[in-house]
Structure 1
Amino acid sequence: MSEVFDGRLFSEVFITLFVIMDPPGIVPIFLGLTAAMTGKQRNRAARQAILVSFGVIVSFAIFGQQLLSYMHISMAALQASGGLLLLLIAMELLTGKSEEPAPSGNKGVNVAMVPLGTPLLAGPGAIVAIMVFVQSSDKSTSDWVSIALAAVAVHVSLWLAMRFSGVIRRVLRDSGTILFTRIAGLLLAAIAVQLVADAVRAFIETS
Structure 2
Amino acid sequence: MNFDVRLFTEVVITLFVIMDPPGTVPIFLALTGTMTHKERARAALQAVLVAAGVIIAFALFGQQLLDYMHISLPALQASGGLLLLLIALELLTGKMEEPQPGKVGTNVAMVPLGTPLLAGPGAIVASMLFVQRVDGSAGDWLAVTAGFFVVCVCLWAAMRFAGLIQRVLGETGVLLVTRIAGLLLAAIAVQLMADAVTAFVQAAT
Q: TM-score range by the shorter chain?
A: 0.5 to 0.7
Q: Using the TM superposition, give the Cα deviation of residue 69 of structure 1 relative to its aligned residue in structure 2, in angstroms.
A: 6.1
Match of 2:113 among 107, 116, 122: 116
1:168-191 per-residue CA deviation (whole Å, 9 max, x = no partner) reads 5759x97xx99xx9xxx9xxxxxx
* Counterpart in the other structure of 1:20: 18
Q: Using the TM superposition, give the Cα deviation of residue 137 of structure 1 relative to its aligned residue in structure 2, in angstroms.
A: 2.6
1:127 is the counterpart of 2:124: yes
Q: Using the TM superposition, give the Cα deviation of residue 53 of structure 1 relative to its aligned residue in structure 2, in angstroms.
A: 0.5
* Counterpart in the other structure of 1:57: 55
* Matches of 1:8 and 1:102, distance apart in 2: 40
Q: 1:159-178 to 2 correspondence within 5 Å?
A: 159-167=156-164, 170=168
Supply the RMSD in Å over aligned alpha carbons.
Answer: 3.7
Compared CA separation, residues 27 and 71, structure 1 to 2 (3 A): same
Say which SS state the counterpart of residue 135 (structure 2) adopts.
coil
Q: Using the TM superposition, give the Cα deviation of residue 107 of structure 1 relative to its aligned residue in structure 2, in angstroms.
A: 2.7
1:148 is the counterpart of 2:138: no
Where structure 2 has 5 or more consecutive residues not aligned to the other structure, the ranges are 91-95, 189-194, 200-205
1:41 is the counterpart of 2:39: yes
* Matches of 2:151 and 2:45, distance apart in 1: 14
* Counterpart in the other structure of 1:203: none
2:151 partner amino acid: V
1:138 is the counterpart of 2:101: no
Q: Using the TM superposition, give the Cα deviation of residue 136 of structure 1 relative to its aligned residue in structure 2, in angstroms.
A: 2.6
* Matches of 1:69 and 1:113, distance apart in 2: 25
Residue identity over aligned pairs, in percent, reads 57
* Matches of 1:132 and 1:164, distance apart in 2: 31
1:56 partner amino acid: V
1:166 partner amino acid: G
Aligned length: 164
Compared CA separation, residues 71 and 44, structure 1 to 2 (3 A): closer
Q: Using the TM superposition, give the Cα deviation of residue 17 of structure 1 relative to its aligned residue in structure 2, in angstroms.
A: 0.6
Q: Using the TM superposition, give the Cα deviation of residue 64 of structure 1 relative to its aligned residue in structure 2, in angstroms.
A: 2.8
Compared CA separation, residues 12 and 132, structure 1 to 2 (3 A): same
Compared CA separation, residues 68 and 141, structure 1 to 2 (3 A): farther
2:135 partner amino acid: D
Q: Using the TM superposition, give the Cα deviation of residue 140 of structure 1 relative to its aligned residue in structure 2, in angstroms.
A: 1.9
Say which SS state the counterpart of residue 39 (structure 2) adopts.
helix
1:118-169 per-residue CA deviation (whole Å, 9 max, x = no partner) reads 1111011100110011113323211111111111111100000001113357
CA contact 1:4–1:145 (8 Å) conserved in 2: no
